[in-house]
Homo-oligomer: A and B are copies of this chain.
Amino acid sequence: MVRNSLLSGGGTGYKTPHLKRGWNLSLFPAAQREHLHQKMSENGALPRGGKVLTVDTMNANVKKVDYAVRGPIVQRAVQIEKELKEGVKKPFEEVIKANIGDAHAMGQRPITFFRQVMALCTYPQLLDDNKFPEDAKNRARRILQSCGGNSIGAYTTSQGIECVRHDVANYIQRRDGGIPSDPDNIYLTTGASDGIVTILKLLTAGEGRTRTGVMISIPQYPLYSASIAELGAVQVNYYLNEEKCWSLDISELQRSLQAAREHCNPRVLCIINPGNPTGQVQSRQCIEDVIQFAAKENLFLMADEVYQDNVYAEGCEFHSFKKVLFEMGPEYSSKVELVSFHSTSKCYMGECGFRGGYMEVINMDPEVKAQLTKLVSVRLCPPAPGQALMDLVVNSPKPGEPSYQTFMMERTAILSALAEKAKLTEEILNTVPGIRCNPVQGAMYSFPCITLPERAINEAKAKGQAPDMFYCMKLLEETGICLVPGSGFGQREGTYHFRMTILPPTDKLKILLNKLKEFHQKFTQQYS
């Protein structure tokens, strides 16, 4: 196999057992990768024979991209699953993937109403079937009437189906206590990721010291660092305060901005609320402070609000940036440029596979908006089924409609289970000496701090691995639990974390947490 040729040729000192397939060198930090790569080339182990496209001649920005949520540890998890299927004996029977916010994969059932309408849109012959409730049929008819040739297989306008954009605007207006939302400011997207990358793309300009700087929280969701790298923008880190439940301090924003201005042009401030991977929910006051800061410092605001329904902790509430902005009065609401992102993938629906999403752009220069519309038109349109699903999320069954009760029951059951699991996760993890876990106030993840023995850190470093990668890889090999090391999200130097979703069913989550507890104790002992 071509791939294996990467590993042929002796004498490279290249021995880690997990490196047999896929992202071979990417388990190593960049510096060591370069070194290994060079060594292998010298040895003639890399048969580059006249390729037009090689790692040396490819897009340098793409090389810098890292995306931990689907990184080497997940590749290894997939491989282990295959080994288990092939009958290889392991100290566990299944891999539990707590690495990604993928609710359905963890056994969550889809919302019945949503899937009924989607089936009707897909195969309209079912509109004559009396098995389907009338409100589902009405929704489907309305969506199909807005599609070219009444088919969800037609291209939609690039900004998204008009009636869906109207429904999104109405939803936002209801959510934000009547503050108006203009359908013309809504862009449907291929998941939230697509929207985020598109806006970052518009904002990326300049060279050298005038290059666009993008302020992101650390820890962050690695879509941000990956896109910034790909676009060749400058990543500007501000640290969340782990001691204060991952809160955002304006003084830290100020420090970060000042430092960045020495070497780039920071123009964008990205906020994830509720937080990923950190699970905090921002207070209204904090949001107001951030907006004030952005206004004062002339920053474009990007608010990633895909977890807006995932708020569990008592006393916490979701406040949209849009609402707070408008409540601050015209001095702010007529000035601050803001884009807010939402998605069908999270909250109670968890429909990740459909890649549905929207963004609302506020106070965007009209000429830039025209450029945005032009830019999205090159990709023709977001997937129509994802758009239809987004419509159902923002236009769910109303009291009095036939599907209302079932819908509310399903929705409530999912959100209460998540709230319970958020609490459970925090409680069990905090019983483990050497693990410290902030409350999971919202979103779908815990991001606990782990204490690693000096000897483990040294052994990891000797292997060229981040210490928390070393920890997570060992956890995976010994227990089948797949987590993402904190280094994939960013963390303060010398601290170690992992991200774990709270999505497995309660029974399984308990087993997982107890296995993790046991592993951590054993690991600590082994390396002390």
Q: Hey, which bits of chain A sit against chain B, CB under 8 A?
A: 2-3, 5-6, 22-26, 37, 46, 48-55, 57-60, 62-63, 65-67, 70-71, 78, 100, 102-108, 110, 115-116, 118-119, 122-123, 126, 129, 131, 147-149, 151-158, 190-191, 193-194, 197, 201-205, 222-223, 226-227, 230, 267-268, 298-300, 335, 337, 349-355, 363-371, 373-375, 377-386
Whether B153 pairs with A350 at a CB distance below 8 angstroms is yes
Whether A151 pairs with B367 at a CB distance below 8 angstroms is no
Whether A299 pairs with B154 at a CB distance below 8 angstroms is no
Task: Determine which of B71, B268, B353 lies in contact with A383 in the assembled complex, contact meaning CB atoms within 8 Å.
Answer: B353
Chain B residue contacts of A369, Cβ below 8 A: 3
Whether A205 pairs with B59 at a CB distance below 8 angstroms is yes
Q: What copy number does this chain have within its complex?
A: 2
Task: Determine which of B148, B203, B367 lies in contact with A105 in the assembled complex, contact meaning CB atoms within 8 Å.
Answer: B148
Give 26 CB contacts A-B under 8 Å: A3-B369, A22-B370, A46-B367, A52-B267, A52-B268, A53-B300, A55-B365, A62-B201, A65-B374, A65-B378, A103-B153, A104-B149, A105-B148, A110-B151, A115-B123, A129-B131, A153-B353, A156-B353, A193-B379, A197-B379, A230-B378, A352-B380, A352-B381, A353-B384, A353-B385, A355-B380
Q: Separation in Å of the A12 CB from the closest CB of chain B?
A: 14
Chain B residue contacts of A377, Cβ below 8 A: 67, 70-71
Whether B148 pairs with A370 at a CB distance below 8 angstroms is no
Chain B residue contacts of A37, Cβ below 8 A: 367
Q: Separation in Å of the A234 CB from the closest CB of chain B?
A: 14
Whether A53 pairs with B337 at a CB distance below 8 angstroms is yes
Q: Separation in Å of the A297 CB from the closest CB of chain B?
A: 10
Whether A299 pairs with B205 at a CB distance below 8 angstroms is no
Whether A366 pairs with B5 at a CB distance below 8 angstroms is yes
Give A373 to B300 CA distance when docked, in angstroms: 31
Chain B residue contacts of A222, Cβ below 8 A: 378
Give A147 to B353 CA distance when docked, in angstroms: 9
Max chain B Cβ within 10 angstroms of own Cβ: one of A148, A366, A367: A367
New contact pairs (13) apart from A50-B298, A105-B154, CB-CB < 8 Å: A3-B369, A22-B373, A25-B367, A53-B365, A53-B368, A59-B203, A105-B149, A105-B151, A110-B153, A223-B378, A226-B378, A354-B383, A354-B385
